[in-house]
């Protein structure tokens, strides 16, 4: 069982990252043989970004993952750009990817609409690079948030088309989405996913936020008309907070609804804030211990990249001859 996941180094990590992805990775890191976690810095270049800040964001993200409980001795943790097979396979997979499939990708439509000056070709090819990330390791399971389901489905389609055209090389990966907390929404705009790229500071709760900042943001979180603490389509703000509290306490959302029946929004928001303060405190403190040791973080990434290259190199040794790429060894 090979498990692969990637995360963008887009600055500070928020509770959407932590609840929707990182916590599940930590809990599942011993299920894989191996479990692979990749800091996808190449993906970060597909939209407008700060080139000078990106290396620091990679270190931030690596330190946060380790602080949350990922153990580099029990999984493979590395920086995407350190393993050049990712970009090579991306290009080769373009030969097995339908242009129309990429046109239909929701994230391309969303991201291209938000870019004011330049819609990069790389944002169009982003799903192919993501497929390369996954298929390179012959991945069986990809744990992701709901918004990435379409990308993993495309990876399956690319693997099928490649295998049918060039021969059996790739595994068709299964997508694994959490039943609760797969898509945490912005506190100020509960119609939008919580995001460091497009959200406001008031709508985000960062993993390293101070307790008072967490309480303040929850108190001001956008809610809905009425006072009932129940999930409903017309109550996206409260629904979002119910999911956050359910995941944090490891209970079903229905239990949260029963507990706060008749109590109103004030008491409920306060409970969500305190649960998050308790959940995030040890991660925040550990992160502050780890982050200053940049040499140590770089060593961890280099060691992980070396392990990843062994697997990636073996896969590419199958891909190249299957596609007729590289020297012929015919006698």
| Backbone torsions φ then ψ of 188, nearest 5 degrees | -95, -20
The tens-digit pLDDT sequence of the chain (331 residues) is 999 999 999 878 999 889 888 988 998 899 999 999 999 999 999 888 899 999 999 999 999 999 999 999 999 999 999 999 999 999 999 999 999 999 888 877 777 777 667 888 888 999 999 999 999 999 999 988 777 888 899 999 999 999 999 999 999 999 988 766 667 899 999 988 888 766 678 899 999 999 999 999 999 998 887 788 998 888 999 999 999 999 889 899 999 999 998 888 999 999 999 999 999 999 999 999 999 999 999 999 999 999 999 999 999 999 999 999 988 755 4
Confirm whether 106 is domain-assigned.
yes
pLDDT of residue 199: 67
Of 139, 178, 149, nearest to 37 (Cα)?
Answer: 139
304 and 284 in a common domain: no
Confirm whether 63 is domain-assigned.
yes
First to last CA, the chain: 37
pLDDT of residue 331: 43
> What range does the domain containing 298 cover?
3-176+294-323
71 and 216 in a common domain: no
Determine the Cα–Cα distance for residues 133 and 306; give it in Å rounded to an integer. Answer: 16
137 and 247 in a common domain: no
Question: Kindly report the CA angle at 15 between 126 and 30, in degrees rounded to 5?
Answer: 75
Q: How many CB atoms lie within 10 A of CB 266?
A: 11
10 and 98 in a common domain: yes
Tokens of 155: 């990876």
Write out pLDDT tens, residues 21-46: 898 899 889 999 999 999 999 999 98
213 and 302 in a common domain: no
pLDDT of residue 107: 75
* Torsion angle (degrees, nearest 10) of CA 281, 239, 177, 200: -60
**Residue partners of 240: CB distance under 8 A and separation at least 6:** 184, 185, 187, 190
Q: How many CB atoms lie within 10 A of CB 8?
A: 22
pLDDT of residue 182: 67
Determine the Cα–Cα distance for residues 320 and 327; give it in Å rounded to an integer. Answer: 9
244 and 123 in a common domain: no
Q: Specify the long-range contacts of residues 67-73, CB closer than 8 Å, at least 24 apart.
A: 67/283, 67/284, 67/286, 67/287, 67/289, 67/290, 68/18, 68/22, 68/23, 68/26, 68/207, 68/283, 69/26, 69/29, 70/22, 70/25, 70/26, 70/29, 70/37, 71/29, 72/300, 72/303, 72/304
238 and 270 in a common domain: yes
Confirm whether 191 is domain-assigned.
no
Domain count, the chain: 2
Write out pLDDT tens, residues 5-17: 999 998 789 998 8
Cis peptide leading into 46, omega within 30 of 0?
no
Question: Kindly report the CA angle at 190 between 268 and 145, in degrees rounded to 5?
Answer: 100
135 and 169 in a common domain: yes
Confirm whether 189 is domain-assigned.
no
Of 164, 103, 163, nearest to 128 (Cα)?
Answer: 103
| CA distance readout (Å), 296 to 36, 62, 63, 310 | 19, 11, 10, 22
**Buried-exposed string 106-133: b where 16+ CB fall within 10 A, e elsewhere:** ebbeebeeeeeeebeeebbbbbbbbbbb
101 and 45 in a common domain: yes
| Backbone torsions φ then ψ of 11, nearest 5 degrees | 90, -155
92 and 46 in a common domain: yes
Q: How many CB atoms lie within 10 A of CB 56?
A: 14
226 and 167 in a common domain: no
Confirm whether 182 is domain-assigned.
no
Confirm whether 187 is domain-assigned.
no
Q: How far is CA 76 from the centre of its chain?
A: 16
**Domain CATH number, residue 247:** 1.10.240.10
Q: Output DSSP code: residue 101.
A: H
253 and 164 in a common domain: no
**Domain CATH number, residue 135:** 3.40.50.620
């Amino acid at each position: 069982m090979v498990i692969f996941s990637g995360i963008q180094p887009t600055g500070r990590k928020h509770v959407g990252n932590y609840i929707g992805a990182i916590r599940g990775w930590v809990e599942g890191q011993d299920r894989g043989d191996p479990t692979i976690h990749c800091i996808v810095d190449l993906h970060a270049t597909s939209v407008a970004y700060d080139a000078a800040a990106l290396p620091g964001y990679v270190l931030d993200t690596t330190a946060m993952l380790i602080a949350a409980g990922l153990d580099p001795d029990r999984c493979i943790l590395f920086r995407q750009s350190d393993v050049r097979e990712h970009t090579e396979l991306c290009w080769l997979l373009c030969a097995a990817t339908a242009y129309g499939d990429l046109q239909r990708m929701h994230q391309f439509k969303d991201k291209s609409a938000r870019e004011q000056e330049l819609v990069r070709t790389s944002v169009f090819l982003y799903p192919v690079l993501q497929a390369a990330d996954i298929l390179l390791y012959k991945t069986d399971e990809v744990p992701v948030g709901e918004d990435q389901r379409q990308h993993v489905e495309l990876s399956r389609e690319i693997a099928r088309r490649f295998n049918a055209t060039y021969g059996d090389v790739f595994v068709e990966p299964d997508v694994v989405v959490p039943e609760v907390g797969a898509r945490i929404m912005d506190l100020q705009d509960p119609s939008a996913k919580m995001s460091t790229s497009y959200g406001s500071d008031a709508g985000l709760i960062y993993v390293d936020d101070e307790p008072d900042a967490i309480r303040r943001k929850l108190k001001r979180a956008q809610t809905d008309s009425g006072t009932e603490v129940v999930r409903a389509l017309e109550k996206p703000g409260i629904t979002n907070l119910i999911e956050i509290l359910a995941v944090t306490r490891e209970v079903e959302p229905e239990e949260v609804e029963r507990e706060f029946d008749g109590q109103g929004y004030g008491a409920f928001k306060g409970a969500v804030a305190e649960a998050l303060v308790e959940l995030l405190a040890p991660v925040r403190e550990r992160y502050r211990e780890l982050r200053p040791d940049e040499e140590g973080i770089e060593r961890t990434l280099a060691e992980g990249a070396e392990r990843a290259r062994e697997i990636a190199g073996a896969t590419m040794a199958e891909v190249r001859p299957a596609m007729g790429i590289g020297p012929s060894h015919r006698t």
